[in-house]
């Protein structure tokens, strides 16, 4: 009888440890990662809103070059942080091609992308 009770206690304690380390810890890590990604997206959306708020008055004033300069910041930022990274998915590759085509037609966008790309720290 003692062996059966000891076995059941060990089984319950082992199940408790297994549940804690096998389920709750990975779930907590995943939740933290998702929260960080959502927070980063919020920051990215805020930056895009700031750029748009600067560009809209320039468009309303009829200063298209100034508006392009404001908007090119967001394009260059995306290009240098996401589009040129290896292992890009189909959407990123398509967007990268479109950005490169726009840069070939627009000097302001090309200059902004070049400046952003040159400012990246290259790690060997």
pLDDT of residue 124: 42
Task: Please check whether residue 124 lies inside any domain of the structure.
Answer: no
pLDDT over 70 at 120, yes or no: no
Q: Does 46 map to a domain?
A: yes
- The mean pLDDT of 38-51, rounded to a whole number, is 73
Domain holding 81, by residue range, is 2-119
Tens of pLDDT, residues 1-32: 888 888 888 888 888 888 877 777 787 788 88
C-alpha to C-alpha distance for 107 and 95, rounded to whole angstroms: 18
Any domain includes 56: yes
Residue 45 lies in a domain: yes
Report d(CA 86, CA 75) in Å as an integer: 18
The answer to whether position 6 is within a domain reads yes
Is 85 part of a structural domain of the chain? yes
Instruction: Flag whether 28 is in a domain.
Output: yes
- Dihedral of CA 18/20/26/30: which sign? positive
Please report whether residue 16 resides in a domain.
yes
93, 100 in Cβ contact below 8 A? no
Give how many domains the chain has, as a whole number: 1
């Amino acid at each position: 009888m003692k062996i059966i009770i000891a076995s059941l206690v060990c089984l319950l304690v082992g199940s408790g440890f297994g549940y804690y380390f096998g389920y709750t810890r990975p779930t907590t890590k995943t939740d933290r990662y998702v929260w960080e990604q959502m927070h980063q997206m919020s920051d990215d959306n805020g930056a895009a809103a700031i750029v748009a708020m600067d560009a809209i008055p320039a468009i309303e004033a009829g200063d298209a070059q100034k508006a392009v300069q404001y908007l090119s910041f967001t394009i260059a930022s995306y290009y240098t942080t996401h589009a040129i990274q290896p292992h890009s998915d189909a959407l990123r590759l398509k967007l990268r091609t479109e950005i490169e085509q726009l840069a070939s037609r627009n000097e302001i966008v090309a200059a902004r992308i070049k400046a952003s790309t040159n400012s990246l720290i290259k790690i060997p």
